[in-house]
């Protein structure tokens, strides 16, 4: 029997056309009969139900499907996209079909939106009008990760309060010395690589940095993976997003029937993470026993959630603690590390801007150790901020956002049925010339010129790298602090020599990261 790439899981599978068609037709029926498929069950059951997205009949325009690329009868547009570059395919189609179009993955219709005002309206109308896709909640639950990111309604409100409190600005200021220590470790790691002439895998090193910072802030524990050979926690975390991304985009929940090697690896990684997190929880519980006064004013996320769990009538469970520890590490690790990595990549291709960043940092830190900024100085880095904003505009780690309406709704005059997945193209929004002049160009200057001196569009509301509305990223301040501190250290101390810059590609695995991003660092010579 011949082997072919599976349309759903992208793995190599035995292929027999007749069998494939029969399986495709009966899989929804089996899933529903077995009652196994909760996440996609309703969608599967609705194969016969009309999911069409129609023009609002109140507008008198009549019922008609949205525009979109033509697909094939059973698989829709599935064969035309690659999930590891889904955002690029959707952005191409947006250029062709406009601000609202539809595609089909198997039986599922998806609406794809890139209208600025509508995107803000939908993001603001959460959690009551819109939610994250229901299958995200189910997939996160199955991965033991249904924390604040995947929770909805009252569960989300309760968890959001604790997370926001743990990440608020005042705590981050208190915590700044911890970030500075971790930046110092990263600097020493890169100095060793520079002296040895080693290639630096930027994403890998930066993920060690961001996990170390997130664990200190959120759990009060310094795991110091930057100075640990072969740390395990990142290896386990790295298994989560690719599988989550694949499951979210699979029209059928194959993993409930067949465990592919990647699913089995994920199970093992989750077991190992559970052990690591259990050890952290124990450390924090012991700390609270020794210092009960901390319960009155918890200093990190774990202290806060454990204190809440101990309160009478609490609804916090051990599973919820595990899930939120995982959410904070995952949300804080890839996003910030990849944002810094993309920024370094863009700077490496733009020596003038690297020089301007250097001048800013040299002037700012004239009396400090080179590039080591203090908390107050991080507020006075307009050039570095302009460069990182421009990097998040062109290379956002979340170029694509997913929602679904809790009731039938109208978007741009079209009726979108309850439960339809809506992809929002956030990068497409931020790179269109109508929102930002020469939208595709790396031009940090656009963030520095005075509004009255601008010669073209500059629409802040089209720039939403951290989302918007009530579910806006609560880690934004922490992330910006990390970005500033690392870029200051890097620009002040190193020359960045890209290695095969042309082969760096965007890859989507829940977040969008650069592949093949290796550099050589040289110690900067001061004149």
**Span from 255-263, 269-277, 280-288, 463-471 in contact with ligand HEM (CB under 6 A):** 463-471
Instruction: Pick between residue 27 and residue 468 the one whose CB is nearest to ligand HEM.
Output: 468
User: Residue 420: which of 139, 108, 121, 149 has the closest Cα?
Assistant: 108
> Is 473 an interacting residue with respect to ligand HEM (CB under 6 A)?
yes
- Least distance from ligand HEM to the Cβ atom of residue 62, Å: 34
In residues, how long is the chain?
527
> Is 331 an interacting residue with respect to ligand HEM (CB under 6 A)?
yes
User: 21: burial class by Cβ within 10 Å (0-12, 13-18, 19+)?
Assistant: exposed
**Span from 109-117, 180-188, 409-417, 468-476 in contact with ligand HEM (CB under 6 A):** 468-476
- Least distance from ligand HEM to the Cβ atom of residue 464, Å: 7
Angle of CA points 415, 420, 424, to nearest 5°: 90
Instruction: Pick between residue 77 and residue 324 the one whose CB is nearest to ligand HEM.
Output: 324
> Is 521 an interacting residue with respect to ligand HEM (CB under 6 A)?
no
- DSSP per-residue string spanning 14-45: EE-HHHHHHHHHHHHHHHHHHT--HHHHHHHH
- Least distance from ligand HEM to the Cβ atom of residue 162, Å: 10
> Is 417 an interacting residue with respect to ligand HEM (CB under 6 A)?
no
Residue environment code for 81-91, b if the CB has 16+ CB neighbours within 10 A, otherwise e: bebbebbbbbb
- Least distance from ligand HEM to the Cβ atom of residue 474, Å: 5
String marking each residue 133-152 x if it binds ligand HEM according to CB under 6 A: ---------------xx---
Residue environment code for 435-449, b if the CB has 16+ CB neighbours within 10 A, otherwise e: bbeebeebbbebbee
Per-residue CA distances from 289 to 220, 284, 299, 313, 432 (Å): 15, 9, 14, 21, 55
Total chain residues near ligand HEM (CB under 6 A): 28
Contact with ligand HEM (CB under 6 A) among 326, 439, 475, 514:
475
> Is 467 an interacting residue with respect to ligand HEM (CB under 6 A)?
yes
- Least distance from ligand HEM to the Cβ atom of residue 336, Å: 4
Per-residue H/E/C for 288-338: HHHCHHHHCCCCCHHHHHHHHHHCCCCCCCHHHHHHHHHHHHHHHHHHHHH
> Is 479 an interacting residue with respect to ligand HEM (CB under 6 A)?
yes
Instruction: Pick between residue 492 and residue 512 the one whose CB is nearest to ligand HEM.
Output: 512
Q: Is 81 helix (H, G, I), strand (E, B) or coil?
A: coil
DSSP at 66: P
- Least distance from ligand HEM to the Cβ atom of residue 329, Å: 8
Q: Quick one: tokens of 454?
A: 């601008």
- Least distance from ligand HEM to the Cβ atom of residue 210, Å: 7
Contact with ligand HEM (CB under 6 A) among 193, 348, 357, 398:
398
Q: Are 47 and 107 in contact (CB under 8 A)?
A: yes
Residues that bind ligand HEM (CB under 6 A): 123, 148-149, 160, 163, 167, 214, 327-328, 331-332, 335-336, 339, 397-398, 465-469, 471-475, 478-479
């Amino acid at each position: 029997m011949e082997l072919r790439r599976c349309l759903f899981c992208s793995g190599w599978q035995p292929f027999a056309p007749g069998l494939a068609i029969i399986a495709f037709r009966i899989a929804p029926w089996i899933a529903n009969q077995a009652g196994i498929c909760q996440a996609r069950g309703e969608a599967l059951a609705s194969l016969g139900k009309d999911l069409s997205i129609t023009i609002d009949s109140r507008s008198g325009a009549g019922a008609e499907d949205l525009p979109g690329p033509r697909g094939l009868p059973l698989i829709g547009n599935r064969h035309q996209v690659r999930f590891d570059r889904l955002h690029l395919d959707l952005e191409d189609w947006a250029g062709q079909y406009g601000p609202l179009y539809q595609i089909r993955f198997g039986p599922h219709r998806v609406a794809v939106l890139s209208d600025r005002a509508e995107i803000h309206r939908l993001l603001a109308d959460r959690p009551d009008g819109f939610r994250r896709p229901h299958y995200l909640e189910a997939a996160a639950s199955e991965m033991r990760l249904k924390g604040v990111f995947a929770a909805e309604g009252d569960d989300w409100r309760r968890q959001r309060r604790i997370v926001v409190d743990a990440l608020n600005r005042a705590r981050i200021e208190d915590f700044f010395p911890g970030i500075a220590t971790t930046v110092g470790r990263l600097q020493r790691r890169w100095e060793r690589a520079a002296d040895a002439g080693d290639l630096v895998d930027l994403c890998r090193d930066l993920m060690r940095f961001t996990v170390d910072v997130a664990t200190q802030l959120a759990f009060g524990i310094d795991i110091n993976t930057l100075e640990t050979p072969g740390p395990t926690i990142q290896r386990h975390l790295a298994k989560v997003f690719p599988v989550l991304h694949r499951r979210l985009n699979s029209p059928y929940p194959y993993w409930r029937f067949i465990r592919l090697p990647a699913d089995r690896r994920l199970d093992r990684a989750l077991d190992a993470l559970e052990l690591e997190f259990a050890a952290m929880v124990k450390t924090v519980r012991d700390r609270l026993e020794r210092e009960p006064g901390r319960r009155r004013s918890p200093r990190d996320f774990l202290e806060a959630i454990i204190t809440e769990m101990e309160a009478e009538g609490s609804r916090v469970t051990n599973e919820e603690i595990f899930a939120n520890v995982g959410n904070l590490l995952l949300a804080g690790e890839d996003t910030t590390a990849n944002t810094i990595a993309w920024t370094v990549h863009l700077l490496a291709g733009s020596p003038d801007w690297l020089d301007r960043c250097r001048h800013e940092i040299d002037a700012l830190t004239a009396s400090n150790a080179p590039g080591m900024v203090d908390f107050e100085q991080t507020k006075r880095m307009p050039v570095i901020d302009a460069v990182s904003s421009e990097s998040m505009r062109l290379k956002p780690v979340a170029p694509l956002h997913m929602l679904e309406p809790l009731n039938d709704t109208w978007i741009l005059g079209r009726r979108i049925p309850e439960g339809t997945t809506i992809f929002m193209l956030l990068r497409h929004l931020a790179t269109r010339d109508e929102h930002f002049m020469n939208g595709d160009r790396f031009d940090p200057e656009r963030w520095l010129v005075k509004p009255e001196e601008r010669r073209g569009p500059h629409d802040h509301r089209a720039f939403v790298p951290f989302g918007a509305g009530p579910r806006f990223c609560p880690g934004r301040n922490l992330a910006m602090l990390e970005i500033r501190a690392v870029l200051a250290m890097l620009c002040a101390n190193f020359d960045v020599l890209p290695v095969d810059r042309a082969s760096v590609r965007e890859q989507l695995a829940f977040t969008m990261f650069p592949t093949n991003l290796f550099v050589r660092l040289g110690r900067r010579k001061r004149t």
